[in-house]
Amino acid sequence: MRVKLIGITVALAVAGTAWAATVRDEPIQPLQPAKVTNPGKVELGKKLFFDPRLSRSGFISCNSCHNLSMGGSDNLKTSIGHNWQEGPINSPTVLNSSLAVAQFWDGRAATLKEQAGGPIANPGEMAFTHDLAIDVLQSIPGYVAEFKSVFGSSRIDIDKVTSAIAAFEETLVTPNSAFDKWLQGDDKALNARELAGYKLFKESGCVACHNGPAVGGTSFQKMGVVEPYKTTSTAEGRSAVTGKDEDRFNFKVPTLRNVELTYPYFHDGAAQTLEEAVEIMGRLQLGRTYSKQEIGDIVAFLKTLTGDQPSFIMPLLPPSSNDTPPPQPFAK
Amino acid sequence: MRVKLIGITVALAVAGTAWAATVRDEPIQPLQPAKVTNPGKVELGKKLFFDPRLSRSGFISCNSCHNLSMGGSDNLKTSIGHNWQEGPINSPTVLNSSLAVAQFWDGRAATLKEQAGGPIANPGEMAFTHDLAIDVLQSIPGYVAEFKSVFGSSRIDIDKVTSAIAAFEETLVTPNSAFDKWLQGDDKALNARELAGYKLFKESGCVACHNGPAVGGTSFQKMGVVEPYKTTSTAEGRSAVTGKDEDRFNFKVPTLRNVELTYPYFHDGAAQTLEEAVEIMGRLQLGRTYSKQEIGDIVAFLKTLTGDQPSFIMPLLPPSSNDTPPPQPFAK
């Protein structure tokens, strides 16, 4: 893993390597660094992303389940919500989520902005309401000043809150992976095994769904095409949104960017290792039984998708005032 | 609040102010910036401080209850532990904790290193065991390499873990508060009200306990000297450590550094505001009923004790391996 400071473009001088200006013609494209047009809004969004006062308990923030120290995920099978409720689904990484066709596993939010309001008001997650969250923020002088500076108004509303969080999340891209360097013409960026893994990944059909800059996130697909997927999870997938029976068990194809950091895998978090995930995907989606060697090759390739992780100064949150409603972690 | 980068001394040029080289002779002394002698150990300790894999659930880290975005505390009356257990006591700030005579409200740990092992193995907090935490860390190649680099050995043990966490915590000092600038001779650092508040704080006897560089933390004192303190908390205080009846309800005097950030107050977190805390302390400890004006003066002084908050790049945690025992958030 390498780090970059958000908003700072780092010029990499790679000794002995002449990078081609052109990009290889592959079903996966390199990630581009985020362009920050409104740094004040991103900073505000970062604070909100880390602020547990957006939850009823004062304990759970966006970062609790999309932990930016851990690949933008919580590395749990399913997440922990208010009052230690067991979540119904695996927390998807927030990294590169701006590239997805829609948000949540079932795509029920069209945009990051729309997504950001969901967990705040979900009784099983942050268990707050938008109105109560706004009451809290409006009572905090440091936030009032910052919203005024960013939005030109001291009146905080959920639209501004989710818009700022989305602006921060849009910066959470992870360029400069070894695979991107190879895509950009650096032949030495991948070793023979990684290249063999990519070749197999491409030729055996994984790229049919895992394609584009995010290596996924562009479509909804059925989990269990050739063989049915067996799970104790009650998540229905896309049909919960469309109401159509044929969408049952259709889930958004997850991004494979940084996949070595976002274990465990699948919507139910049932696959603990990448080897297990590759074996199951090959069998269930492609009807193919990969050998141990082949699985190792693909996993070696997948690990080349880990890019520069977002790197930033841990935000300092403006303190509550005497008028701030206290959190209610234990109230029934 | 101002920020500083750990390990970087910032030379402040204050226009129009001639700082005296000497320090005022007061019962409170200025905080000194942390001297980092082993930056690698501090970096390792920072990762461990933020790593929820030190808990049984994989969800709770040191930073959960000593949140460095929020004054090194959780701003809850009492903390949330494994399985959403309600903690018995208010989480004290980790900021400047290296200056305390002992750790925990009852002083049951002599050092930061000793303290750091406590919550990991406390069934009501992180609910793990030292052995299981070491198994997890030892299975993570990134940690093994970093322990080897810092300690010269790949064998991880709880002694090394807590020693690294303590090294990081020792950097969490908050110098350069307005009050420290005044102590160092800058007459303009405090306004008239803040100065009046300090005078009252000193002359009415608060400094008998709240003294030294941390403005507290140097002794154990009875909560409720003149009048008894009424609480539903079952915390016994120092007597739980010494076994002596006369130590009942003796608690470590909390530091007042950054007190505007570390609400709510007292060992039971019962005072939500600084005004409430000052009123109660005056009445119960000193037998003095402060006027509203006097309380406001003291609170104005207390807010001058907010110093430079620790500022650092959010750590990236090394990923688990296939051999890492998965977290058990919901196992009974």
Task: Tell me the pLDDT tens digit for each residue of A81-139.
Answer: 999 999 999 999 999 999 999 999 999 999 999 999 999 999 999 999 999 999 999 99
> B259 and B274 in contact (C-beta within 8 Å)?
yes
Return the percentage of chain A with pLDDT > 70, whole number.
93
Closest approach of chain A CAs to the CA of B258, in angstroms? 11
pLDDT at A28: 97
Residues of A with CB below 8 A from B80's CB? 57, 59, 329
Residue B43 structure tokens = 């970096």
Distance CA A45, CA A38 (A): 11
What average pLDDT does the segment A54-76 reach? 98
Q: What is the mean pLDDT of residues A137-151?
A: 98
Q: Is the pLDDT of residue B133 over 70?
A: yes
* A:152-171 residues touching chain B, CB 8 A cutoff: none
pLDDT score at B39:
98
State yes or no: B66 annotated in a binding site. yes
Return the pLDDT at A332: 74
Contact residues on chain A for B67, CB-CB shorter than 8 A: 52
Beta strands B3-5 and B309-311 are: parallel
pLDDT: is A148 or A331 the higher one? A148
Q: What is the pLDDT of residue A18?
A: 45
Band the pLDDT of B332: cuts 50, 70, 90. Answer: confident
User: What domains can you pick out in chain A, each with its CATH number?
Assistant: 3-32+178-309 (1.10.760.10), 39-172 (1.10.760.10)
Q: Which of B193, B200, B194 is nearest to B180 (CA)?
A: B194
User: Which residue in the list A43, A86, A125, A246 is annotated as catalytic?
Assistant: A125
Chains A, B: CB pairs < 8 Å? 105
Q: Cβ of B70 and A1 within 8 Å?
A: no
Burial (0-12, 13-18, 19+ Cβ within 10 Å), B330: middle
Confidence of residue B154 (pLDDT cuts 50, 70, 90): very high
For residue A227, the model assigns a pLDDT of 95
Distant-in-sequence, close-in-space partners of B84: CB < 8 Å, separation ≥ 6: A83, A84, A329
Q: What is the mean pLDDT of residues B2-18?
A: 43
Contact B207, B253 (CB under 8 A): no
- Split at pLDDT 50, 70, 90, the class of B7 is very low
Cα B287 to Cα B203: distance, rounded to the nearest angstrom: 14
Q: Which of B26, B43, B125, B194 is catalytic?
A: B125
Per-residue pLDDT averaged across B48-66, rounded? 98
Nearest to B86 among A50, A67, A330 (CB): A330
pLDDT of residue A92: 98
For residue B6, name the pLDDT band (cuts at 50, 70, 90): very low
Residue B30 binned pLDDT confidence (cut-offs 50, 70, 90): very high
Mean pLDDT of all residues in chain A?
94
Cβ neighbours of residue A46 under 8 Å, at least 6 residues apart? A168, A312, A315
- Chain B positions in Cβ-Cβ contact with residue A67 (cut-off 8 Å): 52
B75 has a chain A CB within 8 A of its CB = yes
Mark yes or no for CB contact A316/B52 under 8 Å: no
Is B125 catalytic? The answer is yes
- pLDDT at residue number B22: 60
> Which parts of B184-331 fold into alpha helices (H)?
192-203, 239-242, 274-286, 292-302
Residue of B3, B69, B275, B302 to mutate, testing the A interface (most A Cβ within 10 Å of its Cβ):
B69
pLDDT greater than 90 at residue B16? no
pLDDT tens-place string over residues B255-264 = 999 999 999 9
- Among B51, B61, B84, pick the best mutation site for testing chain A contact (most A Cβ within 10 A): B84
A243 contact B CB<8A: no
B209 annotated binding-site participant? yes
**CB contact residues (below 8 A), chain B span 244-303, against chain A:** 260-261, 263-264, 272-273, 275
How many Å is the Cα radius of gyration of chain B? 21
**pLDDT tens for residues B261-295?**
999 999 999 999 999 999 999 999 999 999 999 99
pLDDT reading at A35 higher than 50: yes
A289 CB-contact burial (10 Å; exposed 0-12 / middle 13-18 / buried 19+):
exposed
- Residue B158 is predicted with a pLDDT of 98
Q: Which residues contact A94 (CB under 8 A, 6 or more apart)?
A: A62, A66, A68, A72, A73, A169, A172
Best CA proximity match to B165, nearest among B129, B123, B115: B115
- B328 vs A: CB within 8 A: no
Contact A113, A166 (CB under 8 A): yes
Inter-chain CB proximity B319 and A263 less than 8 Å: yes
pLDDT band of B331, cuts 50, 70, 90: confident
- Supply the pLDDT for residue B315: 98
Quote the tokens at residue A194. Answer: 């990684």
Please report the pLDDT score of residue B63 as a whole number.
Answer: 98
Taking the CA of residue A313 and the nearest CA in chain B, the distance in Å comes to 4
Confidence of residue A22 (pLDDT cuts 50, 70, 90): low
Report helix, strand or coil for A310. strand
- pLDDT value of residue A331: 87
- Nearest to B191, CA basis, from B182, B183, B200: B182
A216 touches chain B (CB under 8 A): no
Residue of B nearest to A65 (CA): B59
